[in-house]
Amino acid sequence: ATLYAVVPAAGVGKRMGGALPKQYLPLHGRPILSHTLSCLLSHPRVAQVIVAVGPDDEYFSDLPEAADPRLTRVTGGAERADSVRLALQAVAAEDAWALVHDAARPCLRHEDIDRLLAQCGEQGAILASPVRDTMKRAGGDGCIDHTVERAQLWHALTPQLFPAGALHRALCEAEQQGASITDEASAMERQGWQPRLVSGRPDNIKVTHPDDLRLAQLFLA
C-alpha cells in the first residue's frame, strides 16, 4: 500500500511563549519542522508528505524542503485533529496508509518508523513509551486523590499509523460529535479499533516548553 506521511504543523505554540511558532524555532541551524520533514522525506517507504500549516503561515515556503515535489501543503484547522483531517483530504488512493507525525517532534529516526511499520497490525499502531514515574490523580483541592496503577500506562507518541480512509472517516465523525481528540488512535478507539502499542525511542520528544528545545538539541547532536 502507498504510505503517506501527514504532518500537523498548524499550531501556534502558545506554551513556548515566543512570537515565532515553535515548529519554526531553530535547532542546529535549521527550523524544527525542517528536521521533521527531512526525516520523513528521506524514508524509503514514504511516498508523499502532506503538511498542514496555519492560514497565516509566513515561514513554510522558506524551508529547504518546501520545494520538494513529494511535499504537499494544505491549510490546517483550529485543533490538531482538524489539521490532520484536512490533510487527509489530500490523500487520493483508497488503499493508502497514513503515518501521522507531529511537526514538533524533530528527533524522529528511521528506526522508529521501521519498527512501527514492522509491528503494525490490521487495526493500526502507534509509537508509545511506558510511563516511568509513579502516577497520581489530583483531587479538586490540589492534593492527591489516589495513585494510578502505572503498569498498564503508556505515553502516546507519534508517528501513528492507520489506513488513511478509515482514519479520515473516524476524524470526521469525532468532529461531528464534538469529541475532543488529541491523537489519531483515540479517534479510531471511538470506532472500536484496537491499535497496537509499539515501543518508541524515548528521545522522540515533543517540543512544547523552552526546556524541550535544549533537550532536542542534545538528542540531535
Residue 126 CB, shortest distance to ligand C5P, in Å, is 14
DSSP, collapsed to helix, strand or coil, labels residue 181 as coil
Specify the residue, 119 or 175, whose C-beta has the smaller distance to ligand C5P: 175
Specify the residue, 152 or 180, whose C-beta has the smaller distance to ligand C5P: 180
Residue 145 CB, shortest distance to ligand C5P, in Å, is 26
Please choose, out of 7-15, 162-170, 187-195, 197-205, the segment that lies near ligand C5P by the rule CB under 6 A.
7-15
Separation CA 198–CA 123 (nearest Å) = 13
Q: Is 23 exposed, middle or buried (0-12, 13-18, 19+ CB in 10 A)?
A: buried
Q: Which residues contact 220 (CB under 8 A, 6 or more apart)?
A: 27, 28, 35, 106, 107
Specify the residue, 19 or 151, whose C-beta has the smaller distance to ligand C5P: 19
Q: Which residues contact 162 (CB under 8 A, 6 or more apart)?
A: 97, 98, 100, 124, 184, 188, 195
Specify the residue, 123 or 172, whose C-beta has the smaller distance to ligand C5P: 172
For residues 28 and 72, is the Cβ–Cβ distance under 8 A? no
Restricting to residues 50-109, name those near ligand C5P by CB under 6 A. 52, 76-80, 83, 102-104
Phi first, then psi: give them for residue 16, nearest 5 degrees. Answer: -75, -30
Specify the residue, 43 or 80, whose C-beta has the smaller distance to ligand C5P: 80
Restricting to residues 169-198, name those near ligand C5P by CB under 6 A. none
Separation CA 171–CA 76 (nearest Å) = 14
How many C-beta neighbours within 10 Å does residue 206 have?
17
Q: Which of 4, 5, 8, 48 binds ligand C5P (CB under 6 A)?
A: 8
Residue 193 CB, shortest distance to ligand C5P, in Å, is 21
Specify the residue, 58 or 94, whose C-beta has the smaller distance to ligand C5P: 58
Task: Compute CA 80 distance to the chain's CA centroid, rounded to the nearest angstrom.
Answer: 9
Q: Is 10 in the site for ligand C5P (CB under 6 A)?
A: yes
**DSSP percent split of the chain into helix, strand, coil, nearest 5:** 30, 25, 40
# of chain residues touching ligand C5P (CB under 6 A) = 17
Q: Which of 193, 206, 215, 219 binds ligand C5P (CB under 6 A)?
A: 206
Q: Residues in the site for ligand C5P, rule: CB under 6 A?
A: 8-11, 23, 52, 76-80, 83, 102-104, 206, 208
